[in-house]
Every structure is written in structure tokens, then in C-alpha cells.
Structure 1
């Protein structure tokens, strides 16, 4: 029988779920509009994340009381991934562009260079969440908007691509999966045998056989289907993998992150948050046993902001007694 406890003391939230797990969730950062793309850089001992709506990249050094930031002159950005071997260079998926950001993490200004227009994918595509695999390729989902609104997605109008960044700042683009509507979070199994991606419009996470040497995808199966859990009125969003190989999945609009068994596709644990719109997730911290979760503010909705005053923050989960897949950096070839 599931046992849950919840204690809220200002901004500190402590949970225990299913008796065996205990951990603490607290607010780490000040709220932004749309906290996305959380990335733990072990070498810098810093968390990077973006405000998707304002085109801002943030850095939070471990133990620091404030984040530093720099703004990118793009309509929106969804990910920031450091380049391996570089102190201050990053690849950013920014609206219609793949860009290189050069930023020291201290000043509020950086330099931005467009590497590839999204027109190379299709002139109406927008870039979404992105991560690097163990070989340093960038994997990014794309989508098309209906003319009716900011978050109306064209059925089958998107896809999933891998990007190889070259040492002369070119981008080699390979389409991996087509006819998707809103591909979202991506991750890999710890042994790199499987690739996972979220299809938010179908409410599923698909698993594909994966060859890390070539970046080739193979046979597929549904690893998780949210429709089996009607109590969660949301969509799967950001995903990662813990030390056991099980999936950690943020359920957007449901105030919950769930752990999904890699073999059965069943939810085996969950953690409730004090805001509904959860976005990106990542493991990190000095011992790699902390868990970071982004969230969204929806500031155009005054009632929502009043009800959820810390929406838009990045949360940190400590005392997890687990570790997870590290954030991988871009390798320039």
C-alpha cells in the first residue's frame, strides 16, 4: 500500500513515497517564465538552464545564492549544451536556429553565432528540446505551429534529427524520425543500447534500439503510455534515466515526476510538486545524486501566478539515495 507524506515549510518541500523512498524537494532558483533545458556540468560544478520564452541562458554555480545570465537575441530557446573541451562555448537550439554561444558565465553579455538555420530542416519548423548523446551528437525535436495559436501543433508536422557540429562551425543534419507532432524530451539507456523520446501529443515514450557508434536507430517499442494512468491529466515532457536504467519523467500539467520501470513500462514511484507545469529534468550535483526539475510560470494568467507563486523555478531534489545519467556535452568534429 502506498504511503505518502507531505510537509511544506515556506519553500521547502519534503516527501516520502511508497515507504522505501525519502527525499527533499526545494526551490533552487528564482522563477523565470519557462525554465527548460536543465544541464549539470560536472567540470564546472554548475547548473545551466534557459528561459525558453525570453531567450535567456542561466548558470547557477553549486552553492551560489544567485544565477548569472546572458540573453540571446532569438524569439525562444529550449536547450543549452556545453561544448566538450571548451571553457565557455555552448550549442543552443534557438527558435529557427542552431547557434554557438560564447559566454564566460559571469558577465551578462556573450557572443552568438548562427550555425544553421532551421530552414535546412523545413522553413516552418521550430526547434524544441535537445540533448547530446555519448558520442557528442545533438538530438533535437522539431514541430510546426498551426496558424491559430502559439501552442497549436500541426499533426505530423515535426520530426527528430541528429546534428553533428564540425570544427568549421557547420552542422551535418540527419533526419531520424519523421511524421511526429510534438517530439519533446530525449534520453538514452546507461549502456547506450536504447534511445528514448517523448511524443507529447500521443502521451507516449518510445524506445528505439540505438547504435552509439553510428547514431543509427533500430526497432521500436512503446516504453511508457500515460493513457494507462488517467489520474494524471497532463503530458509526458522531459525525461532522463536513473542508475537502475528506469525512466524519470516530468508530467507537464500534473505536478508530478514519475519513475517508470524500464522493462514493464509501469510507474513504480512518484514525487509531487507544488506547481503543475513541469518541464525538463536532469541528474547532477557534486556526487551526482541530486535531481533537477524545471517548471513554467504562465505569467499571462494572473490567477495561475497568484496560485503558484514559485512556478518557473528550477527545483532541486536531494537525499535521493540514487544517481542518474550524466548530462553529455557536444563533441565538435
Structure 2
């Protein structure tokens, strides 16, 4: 992700199968200050992503080349993930909150917002990135919120509706590039100092 006014993202042109080739295109969006959290939604054939500092949610549909965006408020937003089986419902990370949002992407209005849980972190931190695994668990990481990134100030969490938030790792500097395979056997996360698997 780039901070210089545009965002370059990988757009997958078809359902990703590791054995098949994919077509990667560049998407430039003017005005983004800190793009993050790309999530390809197979069902809608759309790419969702955020501008952390915006704080803005984006939906890009390659078939129509349409970009829809909406501001979420004043707190930094670290990720957006569609809720399976619920049209226009998303889980987003706002500052330290895990929030369920109903964003009608047709009328481009936020219909409702509900804070599901809040991470037990200092107010100087924020959520940076997140992904769901094949079981529907949300995995997310925090980091220092601001220009001066403090080494080891963040943590790595899991979240389920039944179990709430659970701290999995501490002393994380930056959680980024989170990925989970479909079999849940391994987990990848890029941190400032290397990868966890």
C-alpha cells in the first residue's frame, strides 16, 4: 500500500485457485493517504479496501470499473470484511473497535453500526489489518497510531462472536499481510521484522 496519494492493489480476475494463473491489474485511486486491507469478495466480484486516515471504506467492481466510497466517522479504519450470507454487512476495525456495519453500497449510506467488541489496548494504538480464516474467526493486529511507530507496542488477536476477543501474541510492531489458507493448518502474517507461520 502507498501513502503518496494513490493505491496499488492486486485485482484477481477470477476465483483464485493456486494451480491457475491470475491476471493482476493496478488500481489507482486519487486522494488515499494510507490504503490498507484489500479483500476480494468472490460473490460480488468486488474488491473492498480502506483508507485508514480517510477514514473511508471503498468498493471497486472491475466489471463496471465503479468505485463507491463512504467515510465511517473520525477514527482510523483498518480493515473491511464482508459478512458471509448478509448482503451489504461488513465487519470493520475502527481505532480499537471491531464494528458490524450495514453499508448499503447501492444508495451509498451507512444504515447501522454496532460495536461488537473493543480490544484491550492503550489509546495510542489502533487496528491495522485483519482477515477471517476458513472457520469464520477474525484475526487482527494492532500497532502504534501515529507517525512514530513504537517497536513491540502492538498485539495480535482472534475474535469470534461466541468467544469474544482473545490475545494470541504480544510485542508485535506492525501486523500486516495477514493470510490464512482454506484448510486452517497454517497462518501467515507479515510483521515489521519477518513472517510468522
Whether TM exceeds 0.5 here: the answer is yes
Aligned-pair RMSD on alpha carbons?
2.2
Residues 96 and 121 in structure 2, CA contact (< 8 A), matched pair in contact too: no
In the aligned structure 2, how far is the partner of 1:85 from the partner of 1:23?
Answer: 26
Distance between the aligned counterparts of 1:182 and 1:108, measured in 2? 32
Are 1:117 and 2:118 counterparts? Answer: yes
Distance in 2 between the 1:143 and 1:34 partners? 14
Q: What is the distance in 1 between the residues matched to 2:22 and 2:85?
A: 34
Deviation at 1:72, TM superposition (A): 0.3
Q: Indicate yes or no: 2:47 matched with 1:51.
A: no
Partner residue of 1:30?
Answer: 29
Q: How big is each residue's C-alpha offset from its partner over 1:254-298, in whole Å with a ceiling of 9 and x where there is no partner?
A: xxxxxxxxxxxxxxxxxxxxxxxxxxxxxxxxxxxxxxxxxxxxx
How many Å apart are 1:29 and its aligned residue? 4.5
CA contact (8 A) 2:128 2:143 kept: yes
Alpha-carbon shift at residue 164 of structure 1 (Å):
0.8
**Residue aligning to 1:151:** 147
Q: Secondary structure at the match of 1:78?
A: strand
Deviation of 1:38 (Å): 1.1
Is residue 56–residue 72 contact of structure 1 (8 Å, CA) maintained in 2?
yes
Residues 127, 23 of structure 1: CA spacing in aligned structure 2 closer, same or farther, 3 A cutoff?
Answer: closer
Cα distance in structure 1, aligned partners of 2:166 and 2:47: 29
**What is the alpha-carbon distance in structure 2 between the residues aligned to residue 155 and residue 115 of structure 1?**
28
Deviation string 1:194-213 (CA, Å, 9 cap, x unpaired) is: 1111111x2x1121xxxxxx
Aligned to 2:164: 172
Matched, 1:193 2:179: no
In the TM superposition, residue 151 of structure 1 has moved relative to its aligned partner by 2.4
Residue 116 of structure 1: how far off its partner (Å): 2.2
> What corresponds to 2:82 in structure 1?
82
User: Structure 1 residue runs of 4+, over 6 Å off?
Assistant: none
Structure with larger Rg? 1
Alignment deviations for residues 166-207 of structure 1 (CA, whole Å, 9 cap, x no partner): 5xxxx701111112222222112453211111111x2x1121
Q: Name the CA shift for 1:189/1:85 in 2 (closer, same or farther; >3 Å).
A: closer
For the 8 Å contact 1:92–1:99, the answer to whether it is kept is yes
When normalised by structure 1's length, the TM-score is 0.48
- Residues 197, 26 of structure 1: alpha-carbon distance in 2 compared, 3 angstrom cutoff: closer
Q: How far apart are 1:131 and its partner, in Å?
A: 0.5
Would the aligned equivalents of 1:92 and 1:98 in 2 still touch at CA under 8 Å? yes
Q: Please name the residue that 1:64 is paired with.
A: 64
Q: Alignment length, in residue pairs?
A: 175
Distance 1:94 1:175, change over 3 A: same
Pair 1:206 & 2:183 matched: no
Q: Structure 2: state its 5+ residue gaps.
A: 1-20
Mark the CA change 1:134 to 1:108 in structure 2 (over 3 Å): closer, same or farther. Answer: same
Match of 1:300 in 2: none
Stretches of structure 1 lacking an aligned partner (at least 5 in a row): 1-21, 208-333
